[in-house]
Amino acid sequence: MVKVSALAALGVLLLAGCSEVNSAVDEANRLGDKASVCTEALGLADLNPNVDPEQVRAGAEEKAQRLRELGNEVAEQDLQQTLFRMSDAYLEFEQRKLDHLSGFNEWLQRNLENLKQLRDACL
């Protein structure tokens, strides 16, 4: 009887340990996923004040689609919403075909702010 109780107690301890290990592995995977999403998203949003509107327009639809896909891959709400905002901004740019410089400058300023929010969400 004592051996059965000892084995049962050992089994419970092992299961509890497995649960903690699984939890730690899940957390590490989540953080790894966040890091890879952030790395890719920051690479997609290579905005700088000297960017050519035609260069931005050329890849806007593809960037918008990939940013939305990345947003769907993460669980963290702040990061997801930032990625969705960035995606929407690229679609807006592509659809509106901002030809005049002031419209592009306004778009660029909004997206530089989105980029700052992305960096903050990725920390």
Give buried/exposed letters for 88-119 (b at 16+ CB in 10 A, else e).
ebbbebbeeebeeeeebeebbeebeebbebbe
Q: How far apart are CA 40 and CA 74, in angstroms?
A: 13
Full residue range of the structural domain in which residue 83 is found: 2-122
% the chain with pLDDT above 90? 30
Q: How many domains does the chain have?
A: 1
Q: What is the pLDDT of residues 65-114, one digit of tens each?
A: 999 999 999 989 999 999 999 999 888 887 776 555 567 788 888 888 99
Over the chain, what is the mean pLDDT? 76
pTM of the model: 0.66
| Residues 55-62, mean pLDDT to the nearest whole number | 81
How many residues appear in the chain?
Answer: 123
